Structure 1
Amino acid sequence: MAARTKTATPGHSAVIRAVKLNNHKLGASAAHTWRTMPVPHADKDRTHLNEDWRPVSSPKALRTAIRERLELADNVTADSVLAIEYVVSGPHEAFAEQGGSVEWRSYFCDALAFLEARHGAENIAAVNVQLDELTPHLVVYAVPLVDYPATTRTRNVILGKQGDEWIRGPKAFDIPARTALSATHFMGCRDQLRELQSSFAEEVAIPHGLSRGLRHSAATHVTTKAYHQALARGLAENLSLSPDDLARQGLLWGKESPEKHAARVTDFVVEHYAPTVARAATAGIERRRADEMAETARRTEAALNEERTAHQQARERLRGLIGGLSGEEITKIKGFANKCRRLRREAEEARKLEEQQREEEAQAERERMENDRAAQLRRLTPEALARLEKGERVKAWRFAIARDDLGETLEAWLDSDLFEMDGILSSRGRALIEREAPRPTERHTTQEQTPATPGAGMPTRSPFER
């Protein structure tokens, strides 16, 4: 952005307005921007002067450009905000064409650079400069994509079983980098909109001789449609003469029919009194603006009073602490306060270090336990795995999948044909277990039965027990 040092003109406030556009609102906005719908306040003879600063010059092209950017996002839904429409302008009389100091091209170039820095130039789908209206303004469509870097999230999960107790503890999960569609990231609350106004004024408006709008303003945007509706309503209600009104005096103007006379008088009234009627018709809007300015003043005064009260309370507290003390005593108090802050800071650092050491010890213990389990599983033959209870078998299988160093063990289990996916027994595995199961007739052959000894490789307990 070019560096400028112009002084802001009093009363000439910059205009930057941001509107969220979903799929439905996007169509209406694009039709207005590229004049594919009637725009009464736009001069058709000047529409050719409008400029596109991106290779997008129609509503269809805008949707295509936005759709290409949305392919990067992983959270687009039917009701998502697809774009943010920014409108940048200023007071009519502030522009050079009307005797002001603002050069619209330079002003809009800096405004676009500001929005590119805010969203990324690649996410600016379309830029249109409109010069066919009374005041030049810039329209920018930004796709609100946000790049989130890869990170690690810690969750409290079940780590295993020790004896009859399940062991829980923190486990880190890697969250991959992602791109999301999020208008809320840019304009999710009032403070963000205020920051937009402030930063735009500081970086763009003030260097061009414009100022920031009022803080704590209660003013609301009056749409062009609402303004023209009020104007048309005032003209329709005040500028007409019916032939019936003139017919009663027809004897005075016998050479002119009532219809012709009504049309002539109406034209005369429109020519001479239309400005007065227009001002009267829009008086309601002006009254609303006056009320909003009064509310703005009230809010500003309330904010100032709140700050004044807080400042006074801080002064009183300070006076209660050091009132009547000598300079030497105040210096001692400051030294004691600094010592307390230092001790508190050191205690906080020690606490964080102790927590970090405990977490590292706990992590080392978890890794040791998992390595012990991995060593047990490496010695576990496919037949021994098949003899485990289903829950223990599935747990062992999933544990082996999660460990890179158990790849060969997992392959040996799979090559045995005793298992399907996730440790479920195959038909061959079930047949193995059925063959080894004791038969009912054998259990009562003698009164004293020798306990069966485990087969080769058969574990006497779960590999997840310590």
Structure 2
Amino acid sequence: MSHYTVCHYEKCYGPPVSYSTHIERKKADGTEHVPYNIKRRDLTRHNKEFIKEAREIGRSAAIEKRLDAVRHQKDADGNEYERKIRKGQICCIEIRMSASVEGMAEIIEQGRLMEWCRESIKWAQKEHGKENIVSAVLHMDEETPHLHVSLVPVVSGESKKQRTTKKRAAKDKEKAEKNGEEVPKKKRRYKKKATVETLRLCADDVMTQWDLKRRQTEYAVAMAPFGLERGEEGSPAKHKDLAQYYKEQYELQRGRLDELLKELAGQEDLVKEKNREILKKDSQIREQEKELNETR
């Protein structure tokens, strides 16, 4: 039977602390947080943070520290300048790494779980840059062991919008020259001071459809030594959100419970009928005993 890899990318909306509560199993005030989907609370103590800095200062602080590299930069002359992060901008991407239930069970049985974790984190660091992987937490207390790898999408170079604008301008110029028309003038912009390497925050550059598809294949190749392989390419199967999955499980169990209650209700009516028959027979026996005593 084939064991498939799981490598799911998801944008984190809102402040980092909202996701950290679930991942670190503790609230902002340090008190314990117990999610509704925990299957084995006794295994929570086996959850593990693999990134040293996140272990020392916490996941949320580690994300903020990496964001400071975007906020405070230097130009070519060595002068510092600040770059604002837009309100509501995606500051973190969660990479959920795991395998099919049977595949993870086999890895644990072989005693290779920690090796699998290290290799998965190593792949993520190589793919996105070691400095951008700020946290990697193993969860053992849910249905299937899995890693929550936190990626801060810091990139450099031209944005997708800039590349698209340049391509469009080049096409317009080529078309104008071909038709003998005047080349449209570029809108005047103020010249900016060149920087050594401008860093910016852009989740869309990280999560292009082509890149996501490529990573599924490359991650599966990296996990091949563990007996794992890529899922069927082009499969209509879609990733299901945890909340949706547990909602469906609840509705399924509710349906089964309703059927059981109906069955028990039917049995209750049957028991009542049997009790009436027994009482009727008991009454008949008492009358017969009374008649027998009178004849004596």
Q: Same fold (TM over 0.5)?
A: yes
Q: How many residues align?
A: 222
Contact 1:130–1:136 under 8 Å retained in 2 = yes
Please say if 1:32 is aligned against 2:10: no
- State TM-score, norm by structure 2: 0.65
Alignment of 1:33-112 (within 5 A): 33-35=23-25, 36-54=33-51, 55-56=53-54, 61-73=58-70, 74-95=83-104, 97=106, 103-112=112-121
3-state secondary structure, aligned to 1:86? strand
| Counterpart check, 1:250 vs 2:272 | yes
Say if 2:10 is the partner of 1:19. yes
Cα-to-partner distance string for 1:273-325 (whole Å, 9 max, x where unaligned): xxxxxxxxxxxxxxxxxxxxxxxxxxxxxxxxxxxxxxxxxxxxxxxxxxxxx
Gaps of 5+ in 2: 26-32, 71-82, 159-185, 277-296
What secondary structure does 1:95 align onto? helix
Structure 1 contact 125–141 (Cα < 8 Å) conserved: yes
Aligned to 1:299: none
C-alpha displacement at 1:113, in angstroms? 0.8
Aligned to 1:384: none
SS in 2 for 1:56: helix
Alignment of 1:297-308 (within 5 A): none
Deviation (angstroms), 1:20: 1.1
**Aligned equivalents of 1:15 and 1:143: distance in 2?**
20
Q: Deviations over 1:88-113 (max 9, x none)?
A: 11112123557866822111111111
Q: Which amino acid aligns with 1:192?
A: D
Deviation at 1:22, TM superposition (A): 2.4
Cα separation, 1, equivalents of 2:274 and 2:104: 53
Equivalent residue letter for 2:211: Q
2:218 to 178, 192, 199: 199
**1:129-208 alignment to 2 at 5 Å?**
129-148=138-157, 175-176=194-195, 177-187=197-207, 189-202=208-221, 204-208=222-226
Q: In the alignment, residue 224 of structure 2 is paired with which amino acid?
A: I
| Aligned mates of 1:102, 1:216 — CA distance in 2 | 33
Compared CA separation, residues 248 and 46, structure 1 to 2 (3 A): same
* TM-aligned CA distance change 1:197 to 1:52, over 3 Å: same
Paired amino acid for 2:4: S
Contact 1:96 1:102 in 2 (8 A): no
- Asked if the contact 2:12–2:91 (Cα under 8 Å) also holds between the matched residues in 1, the reply is yes
Find 1:230's aligned residue among 248, 267, 274: 248
Question: Normalising by structure 1, what TM-score?
Answer: 0.42
Say if 1:41 and 1:133, in contact at 8 Å, map to a contact too. Answer: yes
Query: What displacement does 1:253 show?
Result: 4.6
Query: Are 1:42 and 1:132, in contact at CA under 8 Å, matched by a contact in 2?
Result: yes
Q: CA RMSD in A?
A: 3.2
Q: Is the 8 A contact 1:102 1:208 kept in 2?
A: no
User: Is 1:215 matched with 2:233?
Assistant: yes
Contact 1:102 1:209 in 2 (8 A): no
Change in 2 beyond 3 A, CA 1:27/1:173 = closer
Alignment of 1:103-122 (within 5 A): 103-122=112-131
Pairwise CA distance, 1:197: 1.0
SS at match of 1:76: coil
> Displacement of 1:172 after TM fit?
8.5
1:134 deviation in Å? Answer: 3.1
Percent of pairs with identical residues: 23
Kindly tell me: are residues 96 and 77 of structure 1, through their superposed partners in 2, closer, same or farther at Cα, counting changes over 3 Å?
same
For 1:215 and 1:251, locate their aligned partners in 2 and report how far apart those are by CA, in whole Å. Answer: 60
Q: 1:244 to 1:105 in 2, by over 3 A?
A: closer
**One-letter amino acid of the counterpart of residue 178, structure 1:** T
Provide Cα deviations, 1:21-78, integer angstroms capped at 9, x if missing partner: 1225x444323222324233431111111111124369x9322211111112124111
Structure 1 residues 134 and 40: alpha-carbon distance in aligned structure 2, compared to 1, 3 A threshold: closer
AA in 2 matched with 1:250: K
Instruction: Tell whether the 8 Å contact from 1:101 to 1:209 is kept in structure 2 after alignment.
Output: no
Partner-residue secondary structure (3-state), 1:135:
coil
